[in-house]
Each structure stands twice: as C-alpha cells, then as structure tokens.
Chains A and B, each alone.
Chain A
C-alpha cells in the first residue's frame, strides 16, 4: 500500500559551496536543500558561519577574518573540522543522502582537505561556485541578508556595510576560483552573475544532473506566486472526494471575487494555470484572461474511493481508511495515488514555477498542500495536513532566505474540506473514532 522511496544516488554526496561572502551561497544552499528534501532526497545544510558563531559568541569586527589573525584561523579551522564530523554523522547515523557544506571554501587548500575527507569516507563531491563581480548585486545581497545577521545586531546600517565590505576584502587576497583546466577532474558548476552563465564540469550521476538543472532554472527576480483552490464544487457540498464536477453557486461567486481580487492586485504579466478538471477551469474562466491547463495539476486520484464520502470509505474500506491515517503521505489509494506520487508528478510544475515570474495557480486541496510544502519547507509528515481552505488565496513572495505568506480569505462562504488526523489510527478502531475529524457536509 505504501510507496517506496526512489533511489537517486548510491553513495552520499557532499555539495560544497565556493565563493566570496555575499555571493548567494547560503541562498542557494537553503533553496537547493528545500528542493531536494521535497523531492524525497534527505538533505541538510551545514553552515560554517553558524559553527563560528557558536564558538565566538560575540562578533566584534572584520579583523576576525584577517588572513594574519592566527588565533581566529585556528578557531575557523576547528569549526570546519567539526562541521565535517557532523556531516559524516548525518550520513552514517541519520540516513542523510546529501550534505550541503555552506562556507566560502575559497582556497585550493581548504577544498583539497574536503576532497580528501570525502575520498576517505566514500562520499561523492560536487562543487557549486558562485562568481559575481557586479557591485550593485553584492550590495543588494548585503542589504537583504547580511545586515540582519546576528553578527551585526549592534551595528548601524552604514557601519555594518563598511565592515562587511572589509570582511570580503580579507578573503579576496587568497581566493582561488575553480579552474577549468586545473580542476578538470572535479565535478562542479560555476554560476556567473546570478545565472547569466554557467560552466558545468563532469556531472557524475543522476542527482548531480538534477541539481544542475534546478540551479539553471532558478532566478532572483522579485515576483509573487498566488495559490488558490477552485471555487466550491458540487461534490464539495456533498462531502464527496475527487470526481470532476462543476462549481456550486458559492463557487461561482468565488470565481468572480477572485477575478476582482486579482484585478485589484495589479499584477504585471500574470500567468494563470489550472488543472484539466472542470472546477479549476470554470474558476479561471471568470478571470477573463488567458490560462494554461496542466494535467499534472489534477487532484490526487483516490482510485476506488473516488466520489465517496468519508463515511462511505469507512463503511466499505475501513482498513484502507486506517492505513491512510497511519501514513497519509505515503499511503496510496487502491488504483489511485499517494501524496508522494503527487509530489513526483508536480515536480515539473515546480520547475516551471521557478522559471516563471508572477503566476496564479488554481488547483486542488492535495495539490496545493504539495506546492505549499515546497515553498514553505514543510516535512512529509506535515504536508498532508496543511490547511488549504476553499475560497482563500495564498500570496507567496520570496524574501531573504524564505517566503513571505499572505492569506486572503475572499469572504465567500464555503464548506470545510479539511480532515485532521484522528486520535485513533489503529486498524481495529471503531467507526466513530475513524470519523471523529470528518468536516460537516450535506
């Protein structure tokens, strides 16, 4: 009944970031980690700056990073060594598959040490180097994420900027970028100027190929993604799952309200996407703008349970119902799909969402939960229980290292379709216990 984890790679992989400060390494590390975890590859970031902050409780100024500061060098080397130990632990004891080592790693010496470490342990290594010489981009980065760092709590903005620029200078002297010739035996991608150019060398396996593809599709242009479900449908009213019905009268009201809301947002060049199911298409029609239909955005296929109420499912398939509550993410309806399957089929949608700018996605409850989990970095355990009520638009705006979420309830009444996990998930439970959390319906 339960789907198995896909095999992306045979041995653990270390992703090693390379680049001067304020080149987007942490941004890339976090984003990539979020993506890999979402597609089912257990990944974790190991940020060297954090190790350093734990040891050196208070940051004074850039002098810590001067190449002639022996004391500091010792501390920094020991932090790196601790981080590598934690990485080894993550792989062996915590079943991690990918570790992202987020640090400058700007010297050949440091990279050599990492490569030896990985070789000894049997880990693959893939370098991601971010190269940027545009002072405007660098300053913008500093303003966005550095000034709010714990390091600069007691600084005012101007002083912080000056100090940080001096910090970057400390690294510049000894910075040796990855070299096309000298490093031709290494596996790496060099990203130039936030993605206008990439140099890719020796991709070893499937996961590295997917990582490269992902990195080449993301961008940092400001934009917003709007997620909404279709308007309330006929089957929603009856408390039935799945199917392919049209909108109820409340649903039609929502479609009109959505159109008004979207107009009010004055969004530049908005793309609108729907599924192939009537209820999302009817919702989009009210907007009066062109929209694209994606089969991949269709609701989760409930197989033999399609168009049943939860009460009927309990009556006809009580064991299935319990199994689903036990592991809602991996549970696959007989002749249907699991949330895990959904994530897999939504991956091209996410990839295209990354490429695009302003998009409104009109989809379904389970689908929206999967997309939301990607943007908000929710685990597989949380994903199937994310609240995605009808007639509510979520506006997601990338911000610093994460995503700002604004929720807009458009004030059109709708049924509640959210079923929480009941207390008793045992196969032998009583029907009342199974139906404890079923929302009301006609």
Chain B
C-alpha cells in the first residue's frame, strides 16, 4: 500500500472560484465567511478574498460615500486595482498553495466586472460558481447594516445617524450601474440566486459535486436568531476509572449533573428546544433527567477507539506504545487500529451539522471528541487545534450566532467531575525516531489513510 496517499487519484480536480454578486448589505460577506468555514471543516481548503479589505489597505482612511460615486475616476481606478490584486491572490491560493475553493467576496454588480472574472477563471482553468443573493426586504437590510457596518473600520469616526446616511448613499452609487445576473443572458453560467432571505432559490447548471454540496448547504442555512447548547454526558463510570470509550452508565456525580442540566435548561426558558443525544447509555441517561423528548443519533456516538476501547492511557502506552506516539504526532488524522480518526468523525458528523443549521434551538448531549468536532465547526478551528479543544465534563457551552461569527457562553454547572482532557505532550517522537524504532512503514501509512475526499470534477 502506498504511503499515506490514495493511489492514483485523478489529478484533474479543477479549483473552483465562487463569485458573490449583489448590492452592499445583501449578506454577501456573511455567506462568504460561513460557506468558507463549512468547506474548511469538511476538509476542502477554502479561503475568502474580500475586496473591501483590499480597498481599506489601499485607501487608508475612508472619508465618505463619494469614493464610490460612479463618476469618481480616481476611485474607480483604485477599486479596479484592488479587484485585480485580489484575483491575483486567488490565483496564487488555488494554483500554488493547494487551495481548492476561493470565495471572491465583492459586489461584482456590473456585467463588465463579471466578464473580467470569467476570463480570468478560464485562463487559469478554474470553474466559476456565482452566489447571487437578494435580501429584498428593506428591514433586513437595515438590521444587517446595524449589526455589521457600524462595526466596520470605515465608520469608526461617525455616529450612527451619519453612518447610516452615508451608507445609504453608498448603496445608491451602486444601484445605477447594477446589472443583475439575467436568467436568459446568463443561462450558461453556473449560479445560485438566493431570493427573499432564503425562502426561494434559483439554481442554474450545477457542474459538479462540490457545487452540489455548496447549493445544499446554502439552502439549509438561515438567519433566524437561536442558540445551540453543547455539552457532554454526565461523568460516567468509565470516566472515573480513567478508561476511554466504552458504553457505561453515569456515576453518582454524573447523575447529579443530569439533574442540574435539567434545572439549567428549565431556567433558560428556551423556545421549542430540541434535544439530541447519541445512542450510548451515558448521553441517553443524561437526557432522561432533562425530562423532554429527545432524539438519538448514532452519528453522535463517541469516536471508536478500536483496539484501545476501554483502556486507560497507561495501558495504551504499555500495550501500544507506537500507536500512542503516532497519535500524538497527528491527532486529527490518526486512526485507532480497527477504530476511527477525528477526520472520520468529522465526516460522520456532517449530516448532524447540516441538520443543526436547519434547526433553531437545540441542545446536543454528546461526547468529548464529538463535541470538539462540532465546536471546531462553529468556532472555525483548524484541524490542528480541533483535537485539543477543551470540552470539560459538566459544562454547557451556549453558542449564539452573532454578526459574522459565534458568541460562546460557558456555563459550568458546579458538579465535580474528573478531568478527561489530555494536552499535546511537549516531547513528541519525530517520524525518523519512530521509524528507526519500529522499521515498519506500512503501519505508519495505514494509520493515516485519509477518508474519502470527494473528487471535485
């Protein structure tokens, strides 16, 4: 078996350039950032390129909307330069840095600008998919603006009224030259048009798997305010013994936590709360105490530690020292023999994330590794950070989507529990050390065999 790589993957994966289209304050940046976070989490290297940021780097101080006037030659020149600079960085990311998807976040409101981008993509062998979103309700625009623009570096020196007035004039500057995508003229392009805050979508010519996944994701997200509560099961009998995995019930303290959790949830007065657990005893017992109907998901089961199931870390070190070392080398991709890796976990949790996006208020009672994966999605943590995120027992994390990210409130329910967190050790064996020790390449490679990566052609 070849070392660490999937044999003979067809190397014609075309990188994809996603292009946003729309007037200011239509949610383009919100969607760009969210989509980028999702794609990176499912292991598709993605980066967003916000032209506004390039402009701010060029024109250090924002004076007023006049910069955006269509007759401002100087302004137009600078804006065009910024767009080209951004495209250049896109090319570098997709061609030289192993990127697979680049999100070009700008208004792109003229046909001319879009044609420039299409030519650029064609020259470089990128596929293009356009995200065209129209928030048609004025109220939404106003709310969005209040939330996002007032925090923008452009308006630090203004008061609210001035900022609003200026921003409205800015939008007007775009309106006159706005040439929306045309369902007829642009019928050969691949795009999704999001209408009416996501109640309606027009999808045209989806070319491949990744575009299909993007469309599915975009159709499932919403902006209705809600909170997601994440916590682990109460302390279990195996937790107390320092053993990993297994399917034991709650300890006495774990049962206390379950009761406290029930009380906490009651006190939060959550509207229409859904409760999800895994199919393992300890999460189910925890949910039982909350006293509301709950759904069991097999996908929320803890990471399968294979041959190391129910062992203590000391026993693993004793019986499988090589495995133990390999895991510390790359905890995200390391797969327990006959078990799973964090990477496998992310793949099996993807439908859970998709459904979490669709839902509103949800309490997810799960496990340490699972909670790390879910948290990494919401907080945009890398694969390196994910396996070391702190998810202690008897603590509830309340995640509330806010502006471009997620507010996190941590509530410790004051019931004692063991600590199950194992940091990355400071002394780690290097590759060569391990290989010299065990002279077996095949063991190393099979531990890191990646999950299937969807081909992007």
Q: Report which A residues bind B (CB closer than 8 A).
A: 3-4, 7, 180, 184, 196-203, 205-206, 209, 212-213, 216-217, 276, 278, 281, 285, 289-296, 306, 335, 341, 344-345, 352, 355
Query: Which chain B positions have C-beta within 8 A of A7?
Result: 295
Task: Please tell me if B383 contacts chain A, counting CB pairs below 8 Å.
Answer: no
Check B200–A295 contact: CB distance below 8 A: no
Task: Please tell me if B209 contacts chain A, counting CB pairs below 8 Å.
Answer: yes
Q: Which residue of A lies closest to B309 (CB)?
A: A335
Known contacts A180-B200, A295-B347; is-contact A209 B219 (Cβ 8 Å): yes
Task: Please tell me if B3 contacts chain A, counting CB pairs below 8 Å.
Answer: no
Interchain nearest-CB distance for B272 vs A (Å): 12
Sample 6 A-B pairs with CB under 8 A, ordered by A number. A199-B202, A200-B219, A206-B358, A216-B206, A278-B1, A290-B10
Known contacts A4-B296, A200-B219, A276-B449; is-contact A281 B1 (Cβ 8 Å): yes
Known contacts A216-B215, A281-B1, A341-B298; is-contact A199 B201 (Cβ 8 Å): yes
Known contacts A196-B205, A212-B219, A355-B212; is-contact A202 B199 (Cβ 8 Å): yes
Check B200–A197 contact: CB distance below 8 A: no
8 closest A-B pairs by beta carbon, nearest first, are A290-B8, A294-B452, A198-B203, A200-B201, A201-B200, A197-B204, A213-B216, A295-B451
Chain B's interface size range is: 35 or more
Docked CA distance A296–B350 (Å): 13
Query: Which chain A positions have C-beta within 8 A of B212?
Result: 213, 216-217, 355
Check B9–A292 contact: CB distance below 8 A: yes
Interchain nearest-CB distance for A9 vs B (Å): 12
Known contacts A212-B219, A293-B449, A295-B344; is-contact A200 B1 (Cβ 8 Å): no
Check A295–B452 contact: CB distance below 8 A: yes
Interchain nearest-CB distance for A212 vs B (Å): 7
Task: Please tell me if B266 contacts chain A, counting CB pairs below 8 Å.
Answer: no
Task: Please tell me if B6 contacts chain A, counting CB pairs below 8 Å.
Answer: yes
Q: Which residue of B lies closest to A295 (CB)?
A: B451
Check A200–B203 contact: CB distance below 8 A: yes
Q: Please report whether the interface of chain A is mostly helix, strand, loop or mixed according to DSSP.
A: mixed
Task: Please tell me if B7 contacts chain A, counting CB pairs below 8 Å.
Answer: yes
Check B8–A289 contact: CB distance below 8 A: yes
Task: Please tell me if B455 contacts chain A, counting CB pairs below 8 Å.
Answer: yes
Known contacts A209-B220, A216-B215; is-contact A202 B200 (Cβ 8 Å): yes
In B191-227, the 8 Å CB interface with A consists of 196, 199-206, 208-209, 212, 215-216, 219-220
Docked CA distance A306–B208 (Å): 38
Task: Please tell me if B241 contacts chain A, counting CB pairs below 8 Å.
Answer: no
Check B355–A206 contact: CB distance below 8 A: yes
Docked CA distance A293–B450 (Å): 9
Interchain nearest-CB distance for B50 vs A (Å): 28
Query: Which chain A positions have C-beta within 8 A of B208?
Result: 355
Check A216–B203 contact: CB distance below 8 A: yes
Query: Which chain A positions have C-beta within 8 A of B449?
Result: 276, 293
Docked CA distance A285–B8 (Å): 10
Query: Which chain B positions have C-beta within 8 A of A345?
Result: 348
Task: Please tell me if B113 contacts chain A, counting CB pairs below 8 Å.
Answer: no
Interchain nearest-CB distance for A181 vs B (Å): 10
Task: Please tell me if B187 contacts chain A, counting CB pairs below 8 Å.
Answer: yes
Q: Which residue of B lies closest to A190 (CB)?
A: B202
Docked CA distance A394–B206 (Å): 30
Query: Which chain B positions have C-beta within 8 A of A278?
Result: 1
Query: Which chain A positions have C-beta within 8 A of B1?
Result: 278, 281
Interchain nearest-CB distance for A253 vs B (Å): 21
Known contacts A184-B200, A201-B199, A352-B209; is-contact A292 B220 (Cβ 8 Å): no
Check B6–A293 contact: CB distance below 8 A: yes
Mask for B333-359, Cβ within 8 A of A = 1, else 0?
Answer: 000001000001001100000010010
Say which residue of B9, B187, B216, B452 sits within 8 Å of A197 (CB atoms): B187
Docked CA distance A295–B344 (Å): 8
Check B205–A199 contact: CB distance below 8 A: no
Mask for B232-251, Cβ within 8 A of A = 1, else 0?
Answer: 00000000000000000000
Interchain nearest-CB distance for B201 vs A (Å): 4
* Residue of A7, A285, A290 with highest tally of chain B CB at under 10 A: A290
Query: Which chain B positions have C-beta within 8 A of A276?
Result: 449
Docked CA distance A4–B298 (Å): 10
In B6-21, the 8 Å CB interface with A consists of 6-10
Query: Which chain B positions have C-beta within 8 A of A296?
Result: 452
Query: Which chain A positions have C-beta within 8 A of B216?
Result: 209, 213, 216
Docked CA distance A203–B1 (Å): 46
Query: Which chain A positions have C-beta within 8 A of B451?
Result: 295
Given contacts A7-B295, A197-B187, 10 further A-B contacts (CB under 8 A): A3-B298, A184-B196, A199-B203, A217-B212, A289-B8, A292-B9, A293-B7, A294-B452, A295-B347, A355-B209
